[in-house]
Amino acid sequence: MQANAHLWTEIRGRRRMADLLVATMAEAGAAVAFALPAESLNAIVDALRKQDRVRLVTVRHEGAGALMASAWAKLTGRLGVCMGTAGPGAANLLGGVYDATADGAPLLAVTGQVASHQLGTGSFQEIDAHALFSCTGAAPHTSASPPTCSPAR
């Protein structure tokens, strides 16, 4: 049986990459994140739950969330944030990313991804996010949490 790495990290008082991402979003001016919660975004959704500076608005489709984030950015001048799961969820963000880029609106699109050891293997929901988003005029960037260690037994 494997321990829940996120719970163990929280018990030890350590911050996760997801916590740092949410804090950085807040510092950059984001007030709302539009997302369809999914397995590859669980840590970020949990980090959003634990703080009160960035509110999570759940959507029924990633594409709708991306367009909502783009509209938010255009109307408020603040950073719009949208999130989608790995693979098809990332592809569904494209419309909103194109929309924001065309109008010069500040937008952060966050996607999930398969485990790093599965990249390049054609695994379920694997997608080349760099290639997908590079055609939008956006600047794709990949960040990953370091491998987590199971607690000693």
In this predicted model, what pLDDT tens digit does every residue of 99-121 receive, in sequence order?
999 999 999 988 866 555 655 66
Cross-strand partners of 80: 107
pLDDT in tens, 80-95: 999 988 778 888 988 8
Higher confidence at residue 84 or residue 147? 84
Higher pLDDT, 77 or 119: 77
**Residue 85: predicted pLDDT:** 84
* Stated pTM of the model: 0.76
Q: Report whether 86 contacts 126 (CB < 8 A).
A: yes
Q: What is the pLDDT of residue 86?
A: 77
pLDDT in tens, 18-70: 899 999 999 999 999 999 988 888 889 999 999 999 999 999 999 999 999 99
Higher pLDDT, 64 or 7: 64
In which band, very low, low, confident or very high, does the pLDDT at 146 lie, cut at 50, 70 and 90?
very low
> What is the reported pLDDT for 147?
45
Give the integer Cα–Cα distance in Å for 97 and 38: 20
CA distance 39 to 34: 16
CATH of domain 16-113+120-134: 3.40.50.970
Amino acid at 26: A
Best CA proximity match to 93, nearest among 125, 129, 139: 129
Name the residue ranges covered by the structural domains of the chain: 16-113+120-134
CB atoms within 10 A of CB 13: 6
Amino acid 66: pLDDT: 95
Quick one: pLDDT at residue 64? 96
